[in-house]
Amino acid sequence: MALYGAAAAVLEGLERGAGGVKALVFQSRFPLYALVSETLRYSAVLEELLAGAALLRAEKKLSPQLAKVLVYDLLFGKGLKCGGRWKALARRHRARLEAELARLKVRRKVSRNEELLAPAQAGGPGASQVPRYVRVNTLKTCVDDVIEFFKREGYCYLGKAASVEELRSLSGKKFLLDLHLPELLVFPPQTDFHDNVLYTSGHIILQDKASCLPAFLLSPAAGAHVIDACAAPGNKTSQLAAILENRGQIFAFDVDTKRLATMSTMLTRAGVTGFQLAQQDFLTVDPGDPKYSKVAYILLDPSCSGSGMVNRVPVAEAAPSAERLQALAGFQRKVLSHGLSFPALRRLVYSTCSLHREENEDVVGAVLQEWGSAFRLVDAFPGWPCRGLAAFPGAESCLRASAADTLTQGFFVAVLERRGDGAAAPRSLPAAAGDSPQHGEGTEPGAAPKKRRRKKQRKVCAALPGNCRCSKQRRSGGKQVK
């Protein structure tokens, strides 16, 4: 019962304007995103069913939000998981609800549940064209074995994509290896893996392609000390750990206790070691603290307007006001400048899920000007199709992403590196996956050295928890601080 009550509370919060879907879900101790998203997607259909079956009139103590969640899981989801009176209540009305659903399909002249959804209900603006991206967690398995697992599940692997257009044309149970990122698989939009054993065991991470870019471009060397400045919910942190091969140290900060608790669970499930979580505002972290004297890489993804988020659910969020953008940009400039003040820093990646120039190019340009010649903007990923807006000379070195152009969430990424004065050169940026041979034909860009990779490819793995032999976690020392 608690699961459905928590999902209903998220729906109520959305109606009150208390926050966005992700923000409200992360405040809960339950994994609610899929349930809430799908309930919202079917919201109009559920309202018709509730009205036709007169459920709320018959059960006066049942809130509309809770009724929607229960009926969604009863008729469209995986079946009711709760016990007690709510399960008994829903089952008592099951026959009437199923009859109402059948009548609705007849009226609409459709046979499948998905066909009941209007185009606007299939997802937010652009959501219907954004594929489902699946990042393979190389701390627990490898790409080849995950591909084999999905093939055994009935999916058809089409090889490595040659263009964005190939990703756009995916349908049914077909999937591809991404053309840019070597450990990213691409499935048709709305493919749901939240209940898949590889997801629940941490072997795969459901992470948008654009969200994978910051850690990929930070590219810290194994054994390095790294700060993830605004870390929750932890997808980027787990990606950093995979790049580091669980060697080195990650210092992860976030101000929200509940988000950190969720993040700790997620990182443990993903097999991440050598990390320290701290409930602390990154702006209060002292760059002169000896604890951070070896930090050479910083991933900075600060709070932003979220204007680039392409929702998979039909929830429209108001555009931020000019005052809100100004306040956000002021905070972002401050936190970026603070990140650059760490004495051993070699490379910093600044990213947002915003489309607004005020939070992106304007922030980077202002901070670079503030620091003079100490840092330079790196021309990252030259083959990436969308570049920064011409806000200042060199801004085209930044990356942008969008549903229309790159089939991803809207995103902005800038890579900054320290200049000269005898500073040790940072590890070179990774190459695009498109410059390498097909998966299985050679070494992946950004992957392990050839000798280790060949050894890894010889190992046999069932890509299942407990059977995976190519995924022995490379654990280093270091304490997990919760």
Per-residue pLDDT tens over the stretch 75-92: 988 777 665 777 788 888
Distance CA 394, CA 134 (A): 33
Compute the average pLDDT of residues 15-42. Answer: 75
Q: Which two tokens stand for residue 99?
A: 């009859």
Q: Which two tokens stand for residue 149?
A: 């697992």
Strands 174-177 and 347-352: unpaired
Q: Is 46 exposed, middle or buried (0-12, 13-18, 19+ CB in 10 A)?
A: buried
Q: For the segment 249-272, what is each residue's pLDDT rounded down to a tens digit?
A: 999 999 888 788 889 999 999 999
User: What pLDDT was estimated at residue 91?
Assistant: 82
Q: What is the DSSP letter of 176?
A: E
Residues 6+ apart with CB under 8 A from 17: none
DSSP output for 270-286: TT--SEEEEES-GGGS-
Distance CA 138, CA 448 (A): 11
pLDDT at residue 1 above 90?
Answer: no
Distance CA 324, CA 330 (A): 10
Instruction: Report the half-sphere exposure of 173 (CA within 13 A, side-chain side).
Output: 8
Q: For the segment 327-385, what is each residue's pLDDT rounded down to a tens digit?
A: 999 999 999 999 999 999 999 999 999 999 999 999 999 999 999 999 999 998 988 99
pLDDT at residue 478 above 70?
Answer: no
Cα distances from 408 to residues 52, 126, 209, 400, in angstroms, run 38, 9, 6, 10
Average pLDDT, the chain: 84
Q: What is the percent of the chain with per-residue pLDDT over 90, rounded to a whole number?
A: 55
Q: For the segment 100-152, what is each residue's pLDDT rounded down to a tens digit?
A: 999 998 998 888 887 887 654 444 445 568 999 999 999 999 999 999 999 99
Residues annotated as catalytic (active site), given as ranges: 353
pLDDT: which is higher, 461 or 207: 207
Instruction: Give the ranges where 136-180 is alpha helix by DSSP (H).
Output: 143-152, 164-168
- Sign for the pseudo-dihedral over CA of 298, 304, 307, 313: positive
The whole model's pTM is what?
A: 0.74
Q: Is 88 exposed, middle or buried (0-12, 13-18, 19+ CB in 10 A)?
A: exposed
User: What pLDDT was estimated at residue 306?
Assistant: 85
pLDDT: which is higher, 195 or 220: 220
Q: For the segment 142-168, what is each residue's pLDDT rounded down to a tens digit?
A: 999 999 999 999 999 999 999 999 999
Residue whose tokens read 């459920």: 55
User: What pLDDT was estimated at residue 363?
Assistant: 98
Q: Is 216 exposed, middle or buried (0-12, 13-18, 19+ CB in 10 A)?
A: buried
Q: Which two tokens stand for residue 60?
A: 């006066």
